[in-house]
Structure 1
């Protein structure tokens, strides 16, 4: 993430319930998104190891002021030895003038690029 310092910087991650990486666990994040300090609480609502998919539902924090039922799903699909990552953001705007969650999507794009560079050089 160092190559995209203004997108998202996590300052703190607190486990409130359950265990990291286990369905139903609740994590609170303190982070900077587009230069603004924010917080979010999320519940890990689904890990599907067989289909290589994970999803989180945001239920408290700055993103929940803008969006209802914000769910982020990341899925990895392998075709001909190549991994393809799909990030889906399901949301509903609370008010029509609220922005689309482009900053959140851009974070995942940047993260995926950084992971690709880290793994494949």
Structure 2
């Protein structure tokens, strides 16, 4: 199992950021259309654990897809957990879980992305470029909310 963690300080409202990922991820394609082209609900309801979301996005210059189940939403700790169940990521990884945590203590807010994954083979690289994608998407969302 591998693990990558990245933290990004944001000046925009952390509660709004958490709400976007937890219950309104379908707004993200409007905020960052160059990175995310679609976010559709395949099962369940927006903002509920067990819901299945289908993403269309561009990563490393290539169109990709991901189907994820929301494994957890913690309003108190501002955490959302996504687990890949289909799509391009699972061609490289046996399992892939992305956790988003927003710390809203103090004047600035801290967004932490954690990727936990199991590679299909030793030849597979760690998902560093995907973490860069998540950080850049975080910055796009911050810029949008500061307007």
Runs (4+) off by over 6 Å: none
Matched, 1:67 2:93: yes
CA distances 1:77-121 after superposition (whole Å, capped 9, x unpaired)? 123232111100011111111121112211111122223333346
Name the structure where strand makes up a greater proportion of residues.
Answer: 1
Q: Distance in 1 between matches of 2:90 and 2:68?
A: 10
TM-fit CA distance, 1:37: 1.7
1:78 to 90, 99, 104: 104
CA distances 1:8-54 after superposition (whole Å, capped 9, x unpaired)? x2233222110112110011122221111221110011000000110
1:11 to 13, 18, 37: 37
Give the count of matched residue pairs: 116
CA distances 1:46-85 after superposition (whole Å, capped 9, x unpaired)? 0000001101000111100101220000101123232111
RMSD across aligned C-alpha pairs, in angstroms? Answer: 1.7
> Is there any run of 5+ residues in structure 2 with no aligned partner, and where?
1-31
Structure 1 length as normaliser, TM-score?
Answer: 0.85
Q: Distance in 1 between matches of 2:97 and 2:90?
A: 11
Name the structure where helix makes up a greater proportion of residues.
Answer: 2
Q: Distance in 1 between matches of 2:111 and 2:100?
A: 7
Structure 2 length as normaliser, TM-score?
Answer: 0.71
Q: Relative contact order: is structure 1 or structure 2 higher (C-alpha 8 Å, sep ≥ 6)? A: 2
Q: Distance in 1 between matches of 2:127 and 2:138?
A: 17
